[in-house]
Amino acid sequence: MRCISIGICGASLLMAAGGAAAQSSVTLYGVADVFVQYLRNGSQHTFSERSGGSSGSNFGLKGSEDLGGGLKAVFTLENGYNIANGGFFVDSSAMFYRQAWVGLNHEKYGSLTFGRQYQPTFWAVYPSDPFRGNEVLSPLSAAASTVDRNTIATQAASGRSSNSIVYQSAVMAGVKLYAMYGFSATTTQPVPTSTGNILDLAVTYSGAGLFAAAAYQKVHAGTETLPSLPTALNLLSTERFTGALAYRIGIVNLQANYTYNRSTDAPAGSLAARLNAAHSYSIAEVGATIQATSADTFEIAGIQRKARGVHDNTLGIEVGADHNLSKRTTLYARAGYMKNNGVATMSWPGITASGPNASQTLVALGMAHRF
């Protein structure tokens, strides 16, 4: 019934394009975010300047055209860049790495959009992470994107999908539905990767200070070429089950999320089977966001990533503070610690762990300006 309802709503959006065009708008927006980092990685100590520690540095265009009858044409094009060197973020071949989509939005039926978009699972988890899923310093992003010998054939959550079709319902009594189908896609950076078709479903509820969400994702098999491996690695079909909660009590927002990632069995003789690289794993995060004053926010999060059937787990903690100098300019600080156990090699995105069974400490001071 859910799939039928989503199909009817999508068809209604496509058929509702009647009436004369009234108003249109295009907005240029963005974030410039830079920070200085101290990192102790095993026995190594380094200082560096990096980009996007609070909000990913980006600029974009978003627009809409009123088509009448509650229907609008909408689009977003959003680039990610590295303010430390002026280059593209993550993928130098993608001008709009973060978002690139167009579609229709109806105030009653919801929206239907096409292109490179955030996955429903992302919207289910985002409000439950004190560090807002930041791609550089969030411990949740670190756990999701880790390249780990025992789980590299179990596909990780990417947060976004190219070649995707996304339906979002209107909010009904605090409930919102999300559905996405993505066709197979290929990227060349950070490593050459091909992913199969993807199905992603989520439902969220917001009301009376409570946020609750559940999501299911199924990614079909693909391949990945890693420089440390002799041939392309076969990525296995992977299911992902996610639950998230947040509850606000006064100035404190309590937050938690849990994700279980399960792949199919590796075919006998495949590289994934020979490496024993297809273990299931879970990620659990608990934390809080504290709005101490109108200008000051504090964050804390504890994280655990655990591979099943092998001694491979990581525990971490991170704290943060944000001070708004104005509505658009923020100073921030982050401090985190991770301890890898067994053969685990989890690290913050963009950082390679010095080795298994090692610890890392990170301290960052930064500034973000929104325009």
The answer to whether 88 touches 81, Cβ cutoff 8 Å, is: yes
Sign of CA dihedral 47, 52, 54, 57: positive
d(CA 364, CA 334): 5
Ordered by start, the domain boundaries in the chain are 2-370
pLDDT (tens, 9 = 90+) of the chain, 371 residues, equals 444 444 545 555 444 444 444 589 999 999 999 999 999 999 999 999 999 999 999 999 999 999 999 999 999 999 999 999 999 998 888 999 999 999 999 999 999 999 999 999 999 999 999 999 999 999 999 999 998 999 999 999 899 999 999 999 999 999 999 999 999 999 998 899 999 999 999 999 999 999 999 999 999 999 999 988 989 999 999 999 999 999 999 999 999 999 999 999 999 999 999 999 999 999 999 999 999 999 999 999 999 999 999 999 999 999 999 999 999 999 999 999 999 999 999 999 999 999 899 999 999 999 999 99
HSE (CB half, 13 Å, CA atoms) of 316? 34
140 by DSSP, 3-state: which?
helix
Domain spanning 2-370, CATH architecture: Beta Barrel (2.40)
pTM for this entry: 0.91
Single-letter residue type at 234? N
Phi first, then psi, for residue 350 (nearest 5°) are: 85, 0
d(CA 35, CA 279): 35
d(CA 132, CA 341): 26
HSE (CB half, 13 Å, CA atoms) of 12? 18
**Cis peptide upstream of residue 190 (ω within 30 degrees of 0):** yes
